[in-house]
Structure 1
Amino acid sequence: MALPAQLKGIQHHLRTAQEHEKRDPVVAYYCRLFAMQTGMKLDSKTPECRKFLVKLMDQLESMKKELGDNDSISQEVVGNAHIENYALKMFLYADNEDRGGRFHKNMIKSFYTASLLVDVLSVFGELSEENIQHRKYARWKATYIHNCLKNGETPQAGPIGMDQDEEADEFGAEGFSGLGPAHGGSFRGGGSSQSFGDPDQSLDPGLGFTPGPGSGPPTTNYNNIHIPPGAHAPANTPAELPPPADGVHLSPEDFTKAQKYCKYAGSALQYEDVGTAVQNLQKALKLLTTGKE
C-alpha cells in the first residue's frame, strides 16, 4: 500500500524497518512502532491515512506475536538498550570512517540511519540531551558529506566549522532513499577495518538531501562529543568497587537501570566490544553495591 502524502514524514523510518526485516527484526519492529505513533499525530482522520495506519498496526501485532519470546520486544528496558546500542554502533562506524578521511556512500547511510534510530528511541520516553546532540550531528554530517561527494568536492574530515554561527537543521533529508540499504556487516573493536553494509551500494545522484535555510555546521563543539567510555578503547581493568554498603535500599528504578547497563554490556559483547561491556558492567555493579551511579 502506497504511503499517503500526509504521512511523508515517516517514510525513512519505514524504509529502515524494511531494510532490517531479516537482519534485525527488533530494529524493524521499533521503527514501525515509531512510524505508527508519529503517523497517528500527523493524520489519523483522512480515510487513506487511517487505512494505512490500521494496516501498520496489524503488521506490528503480527510481529509482536512472532517475536514474543524476544526480551527486546517483551521488556521495554531491553528494547531501549537494543536500539540505543545499535544506533551507537552505526554512529561510531560512520564517525570512525569520517575522522579517518574515508568518505563513501555507506558511511553517509550509517550516519543518517543512526539519526533515524535516535528518533525511534522516543517510543521509550523523552530523548536525552546527549541523544539529541548525536542525532543533530549525524544528520548534519550525512548532509555535508553527501553534498560534497555529489559536487565533486573532498569533505573535511572530523568535526569542522565550529566557529560558524549557523545551526544545522533537523533535516528531513528528502530523497535520501537514493542511498541503498546497508546489508549485513559488523563492528569489530572500533578499528578502521569495520564494515557495515555494501560499500558498492549505488547512490542516485538525483536523490539527495535538500537542506533548509541555516544549514551550516552545528555550533556545538563536536571535537569533544561524548561517546560512552570504552566505545573506542580496548578493555580496561575494572575499577575497585566498594563492598555493599549497609542499609542500601534499591528502588525499582535502580533495578531497571542496572538491567539496562547489563543489556548494554551484552549487546557490546555481541560486537566484541570488550571496553564498552566492561564499562557498563562497572556501572551496574556500582549502582547495585552503593545505590548510586
Structure 2
Amino acid sequence: MEFPPCPPSLKSIQHFLKLAQEHDTRDVVIAYWARLYALQVGLKASTQTGEETKLLLGIMDWLEQMKKQYAENEAITNEVAAQAHIENYALKLFLYADKQDREENFGKNVVKAFYSSGVLYDILQTFGELSEEALHNRKYAKWKAAYIHNCLKNGETPIPGPLPDDDDEAELEGENANASADTSPEDAGAVAPAPYQPDPDAQQPAPSSPTTSGVVPPTAEEVLNNPNKLPSPPVDEEKPGGFVPYVPTAQPNPATAATIYQPIVPVAGVQITPDQMITAQKYCKYAGSALNYDDVKTAIENLQKALKLLSTGSE
C-alpha cells in the first residue's frame, strides 16, 4: 500500500513509519505495531491539516486491512503475545549491536541496529509503562547509536561498551536521551550522555578484546532481513564479555515471595473453554520470552496466571 508523504509537522512519527516500511516483508508483526504506535503519536501531535489527516487515515485503513488479513496471528490480535514478540525481537537486536560494539566492530550497521532497538522499545509503550530493564536498554541503545555515529562522523574511534560515569554527563542524560527519540542516526548531532546505570556501585565488565577469527559479522540489514539470524541472548559463560542485563539489587520480601510461590489448588469439575486455553498459552509464551533475558519475576507471574486460569477457570 502506498502511503501519503509524512508532513514536517509529524516528523516525530517518521522513524516509526520507516521501521514499519523496513519490516513490511520481513516481520508483519513489527510493521503492524510500529504503524499503530505511529498513529497513536500522530493523533496526539496532529494539528488536523489536510496532509496530516490524509496520512493518518491511510495508516488506519492499512491497520484494518492487516487485522483482517492476519486474524489468525495472535501477535497482531492479542496484546500479550504482541508484547512478548516485540520485546524478544528488541532484546535480540540490542544484544547483537552490543556484542559488535564490544568487539570493536564499529560502523553504520551497529548504529542502525542500536537505533532500531531503541525505536522498538519506544513502540513497546503501546502496552503500558516499560519495565526498568526496558527503560535502561532503550536509553543505552539510543545513546550508543548517537555516540558511535558522532565518533565516525568526526573521524574518532568510539570506546567500546559503557563509558565511565561522569557527573556532568549524567546531568544531561535525561535531556539528550529524550532528544534522541526524535533524532535518527543520520541527523544526530548532540553529544550523547553516559548510559544509565541502575546500580552505581556495580563494576562494569571489561570490554572484550577485538575478534581475531577473521569472520565478518552480519550487517544490520542482513539481521533485519532475516530475524532468524539474530543471536540468542548470551548463556552464562558468554555474559562476562557481553551486555549484563539489569538485575534488581533489592532482596525480595519474604511475604511477597511466599505469595508468589503459594500453591494453587485445582477446583474440582472446572471446565476450561477454548478461549481460556488460548489465554493460558499466551501467558506461557510471555513467560518464555521473559526468561530469554533473565526476567524471572515476570516469568513466574505469567506462569502463575496460567496455572490459576487452568486450575480455577478464572483469572
1:12 alignment partner, one of 3, 10, 15: 15
Contact 2:24/2:31 (8 A) holds in 1 = yes
Within-5 A mapping of 1:62-77 = 62-77=65-80
What is the TM-score when the length of structure 1 is the normalising length?
Answer: 0.69
Counterpart in the other structure of 1:201: none
CA RMSD of aligned residues (A): 3.6
2:195 alignment partner, one of 201, 208, 218: 218
CA distance in 2, matches of 1:95, 1:162: 18
Counterpart in the other structure of 1:22: 25
Within-5 A mapping of 1:172-211 = 172=181, 174=183, 176=185, 207-211=186-190
User: For 1:62-109, what per-residue CA distance to the aligned partner results, in whole angstroms no more than 9, with x for missing partners?
Assistant: 111111110101111000111111111111111111122221211111
Note the C-alpha offset of 1:247. Answer: 7.5
Contact 2:139/2:196 (8 A) holds in 1 = no
Stretch of structure 1 that moved more, 257-266 or 35-44: 257-266
Residues 155 and 221 of structure 1, relative CA distance in 2, 3 Å threshold: farther
User: For 1:105-126, what per-residue CA distance to the aligned partner results, in whole angstroms no more than 9, with x for missing partners?
Assistant: 1111111001101110111112
CA distance in 2, matches of 1:67, 1:277: 30
Contact 2:117/2:138 (8 A) holds in 1 = yes
Residues 278 and 262 of structure 1, relative CA distance in 2, 3 Å threshold: farther
Contact 2:76/2:82 (8 A) holds in 1 = yes
Alignment of 1:98 onto 2:101: yes
Q: Which structure: larger Rg?
A: 2
Counterpart in the other structure of 1:32: 35
Note the C-alpha offset of 1:277. Answer: 11
Alignment of 1:157 onto 2:191: no
Note the C-alpha offset of 1:234. Answer: 5.5
2:233 alignment partner, one of 227, 231, 234: 231
CA distance in 2, matches of 1:266, 1:128: 14
Counterpart in the other structure of 2:117: 114
Note the C-alpha offset of 1:132. Answer: 1.8
User: For 1:180-239, what per-residue CA distance to the aligned partner results, in whole angstroms no more than 9, with x for missing partners?
Assistant: xxxxxxxxxxxxxxxxxxxxxxxxxxx43122xx743235368779xxxx931169xxxx
Amino acid at match of 1:209: A
User: For 1:239-268, what per-residue CA distance to the aligned partner results, in whole angstroms no more than 9, with x for missing partners?
Assistant: xxx8945489xxxxxx97983452463798
Unpaired runs of 5+ residues, structure 2, are: 205-231, 238-260, 268-277, 310-315
Contact 1:258/1:284 (8 A) holds in 2 = no
Contact 2:283/2:306 (8 A) holds in 1 = no
Alignment of 1:146 onto 2:125: no
Stretch of structure 1 that moved more, 280-289 or 73-82: 280-289
Question: Residue 115 of structure 1: SS of its match in structure 2?
Answer: helix
User: In proportion to residue count, which structure has more helix?
Assistant: 2
Residues 285 and 128 of structure 1, relative CA distance in 2, 3 Å threshold: closer
CA distance in 2, matches of 1:257, 1:152: 53
Alignment of 1:259 onto 2:238: no
Q: How many residues align?
A: 239
CA distance in 1, matches of 2:163, 2:108: 20
Residues 256 and 134 of structure 1, relative CA distance in 2, 3 Å threshold: farther
CA distance in 2, matches of 1:50, 1:290: 45
Amino acid at match of 2:138: R
Contact 1:44/1:53 (8 A) holds in 2 = no
Amino acid at match of 1:32: R
Contact 2:12/2:182 (8 A) holds in 1 = no
CA distance in 1, matches of 2:17, 2:98: 24
Residues 219 and 162 of structure 1, relative CA distance in 2, 3 Å threshold: farther
Note the C-alpha offset of 1:290. Answer: 9.3
Alignment of 1:133 onto 2:136: yes
Counterpart in the other structure of 2:90: 87
Amino acid at match of 1:259: K
Note the C-alpha offset of 1:134. Answer: 1.3
1:43 alignment partner, one of 27, 31, 46: 46
Question: Residue 168 of structure 2: SS of its match in structure 1?
Answer: coil
Unpaired runs of 5+ residues, structure 1, are: 177-206, 236-241, 249-254
